[in-house]
Amino acid sequence: MNTDGPPVAGQGGAKPPREGALASRLPRPSDEPAVSRSDQIARIIESRQPLARDIEQVQYHLLHLSEMLTALEQQRDRMVQMGEEGMSARLRDIDLAALQYKLTTELENLDRLSHRFARDTLHIGVIGRARQGKSRLLQSLSGLTSTEIPDGDRQHCTGVRSTISHNPGVAPYAEVWFYTMRGFLDEVIAPYYYQLRLGQPPDRLDEFAGKPLPALAANLSTGYAEPQAKYEHLRRYRNTLDQYYRLLSAPSPRRISPQEIRNYVAQDTPDGQRTNVTHFAVREVKVVCSFPQEDVGKIAMIDLPGLGDTGIGDQERLIATLGHEVDIILLVRMPRAAGDQWSDVDVQLYDLARAALPDLPLDQWSFLVLNRTSALSNNGDNLKNCRDLQDTLTSEGHMEVIDCLVADCANPQEVQHTVLDRVLSYLASHMTALDYRYARSCQDRLLSLQQDTHAELEKARQALGSVPSAASEFPLFQRLFRGVWDDLTGGLERLLKELDGQRTRENPVFEAHVERALEVCRTDTVLPSIEAIEIRRDRFGSYEMAYQEYLHELRTHLTRHFLALDEGLRLSTDEVKEQVAAVLVQQGRMGTLTPSRGVDFLRAMVDQMLQEYPLFCASFETLATFELSYRGFIQYRIRRTLDELTPDLTSLALSSHPSAYEVLECLCSLYHETLYKVRLALTNWLSEPNEAAFAIAEEFTDQVLRAEGAREGWERFYYEVRGEIWASEFQKFGESSMVRRQWQEAIQRVDEASRPDRFQFLRGGEEGV
């Protein structure tokens, strides 16, 4: 066998998956030949973490898109019921159900991908039918014994999934995760009821324990062995429930010693008696130990229960584990010494593994281990049959893997050299490329889904057809529009004249806030006492230094009070916005378009009504977001009046022999003088909010009434919403207009939720694609 690359057994070699954007994040082994294998594995794990976070963001966006598609589908269904036949047919042609199905599928795929990239270890899964040597292979790989990894040569031994993690220098221990009562009923018991057609599964544990099992249907109980065997499995779960039910409410994880592991994972006792049922309550066991092999890195082995038992759910759990938890698979097969060949059960296991991760060809993430036994073993010397199966893997078994390895699973040195070295080297050199291929496949499907979504949205936009029109209604509309246009222009012009007349007057709202701030400054001076001045002087050893520090404190304390002017400025600007909105609602008759009023009316018009009218939309947005602030409008002006409270600029210096009384007198004089200057300055600016109000209102009026094409734009807008504005005159168009608008809004929300960047988790260049 070629061990330098990733050959496919029986084909002389296959190309490894090519690397791209994800791979470019990783340092490549060929760039640094001295890097150890464990360091290479650590870098692979580290490079996965950012991608896992990016995938989680895409999952969040896709869930939001699903909600928006559901809303669009509900709106579509309502419209189908009320629409004319042609429109209803076009609406039904929008295949939103197919989009939702694809979306659900891709969310499940992303969940597997995210889980894979978020792990802090690389995982090697060991699978095979019962009694093929899986447990002995794991013992040889990990250095553990049959105490920690039970084995047996009679019936199925392992009954629970186990994860065996490498942690250098750590004494072995294990942690047990139990099913909850709800999880046990839903994941373990319910599948038996569904598959065996036993009716509604029990909803409570006491119901499962207290009621007799429903009888197996006659068509399943007569002549068919498998349903009866599965029914007996279910009966055993019920009849032994009293031996393990307390564990279903036990906290997880429970730390146990190596000697206790068998009791939680094995189906039988050490002497082969099939009486152990504790594992029925166990979801998973995690074993931590130090592997004997050097330069292993952050890896873990996953031991899956042997297939071939008649328990229901085993295959589903195997597929779920392989898809979510496993990076590389080891398929274990022990040829019979007396003669053997590839059979249906081998192909079925291979196909089962392949179904776990369709995005990656199984021949790029699986090894086949043929368990070689000696003449002294119960199986006898099977080396010849190992070679025969190895040679006929593809020709007769029709299976392709990275490599088909022959090793004695009970021989630790042989397993570590023949199996573990080969697998770890492959992981270190090819996992980056495999990750990229997997991620690229998911990404391509997401981008295809995004294109499909936009194709359906285009059908949705066209589904309602053109706005219905009647020749007889247009003269009526023109007459009504002329009236509302005159009212709207007249109302805005009258408002401008009113605001123009107030430009030089003090704004009463702003003036009240200024007076309130000045009053607080007069009463809350924080001037120090004589005692405090003396303490400060002693601290600094100088009245001069104490005086300078008090100047800083008075200045900052004074200016802090004027931050409250922000509220007065906001109320002043809100007032003019509400005045403009009132004209639009009343004279412009736009009140029927949205229940919002005042500033909220302007925002609602931007969000809901004017997206197709960029000029009007921008003007409404500018008016709605216009603000005056203390920092931008007043602060820089007040700073000019504060020089006397600045040590380097003050004109009032202390004498050559100062005292605490002199310091206090100077501080009082400077504070009140500065406050007087601030009052004079603010008094001069009391009219400026009115100046700003007139300016923004005039700018708004210019853009929505006087700009080129403004009247024609409003005429188109009013015609579109005529049924809502003039409901009595255009009654039959009112409902249609509102439904049309709601439909367009629902489409717009889906369009926003399905932007290409919402589907993208692979970033940057994609070399080698």
Q: With beta carbons less than 8 A apart as the criterion, state whether 281 and 305 touch.
A: no
Q: In what order do the strands lie in the sheet with 403-407?
A: 254-256, 173-178, 282-289, 161-166, 299-303, 122-127, 328-333, 366-371, 403-407
743 closest CA partner among 216, 75, 181: 75
CATH number of 121-410: 3.40.50.300
Find all residues with CB under 8 Å of 524, minimum gap 6, and list them. 557, 561
Which pLDDT score is estimated for 733? 56
Which pLDDT score is estimated for 342? 92
Residue 767 CA to residue 769 CA, distance in Å, equals 6
- Confidence band, pLDDT 50/70/90 cuts, at residue 525: confident
323 closest CA partner among 298, 361, 350, 354: 354
Cis, bond preceding 658 (omega within 30 deg of 0): no
| Segment among 132-141, 310-319, 654-663, 698-707 with least mean pLDDT | 310-319
Find all residues with CB under 8 Å of 147, minimum gap 6, and list them. 258, 259, 261, 262
The first and second tokens of residue 701, run together, are: 């009026």
Domain residue limits, the chain: 1-107+439-469+731-769, 121-410, 483-709
Which pLDDT score is estimated for 23? 42
Span 157-171, pLDDT tens digits: 567 888 999 998 889
Q: Is the pLDDT of residue 7 over 70?
A: no
User: ∠327-333-337 over CA atoms, to 5°?
Assistant: 160
Indicate the DSSP class of residue 173: E
Residue 768 CA to residue 447 CA, distance in Å, equals 19
Which pLDDT score is estimated for 183? 94
Residue 354 CA to residue 367 CA, distance in Å, equals 12
Task: Work out whether the CA dihedral 177, 182, 184, 186 comes out positive or negative.
Answer: negative
Which pLDDT score is estimated for 315? 75
Which pLDDT score is estimated for 768? 33
- Confidence band, pLDDT 50/70/90 cuts, at residue 767: very low
| Segment among 334-348, 680-694, 700-714, 744-758 with least mean pLDDT | 680-694
Which pLDDT score is estimated for 213? 92
Average pLDDT over residues 439-463: 92
Residue 416 CA to residue 401 CA, distance in Å, equals 19
The first and second tokens of residue 510, run together, are: 């702003």
393 closest CA partner among 356, 368, 361, 419: 368
The first and second tokens of residue 635, run together, are: 């602060």
Span 240-265, pLDDT tens digits: 999 999 999 899 999 999 899 988 98
Q: With beta carbons less than 8 A apart as the criterion, state whether 262 and 285 touch.
A: no
Residue 289 CA to residue 297 CA, distance in Å, equals 13
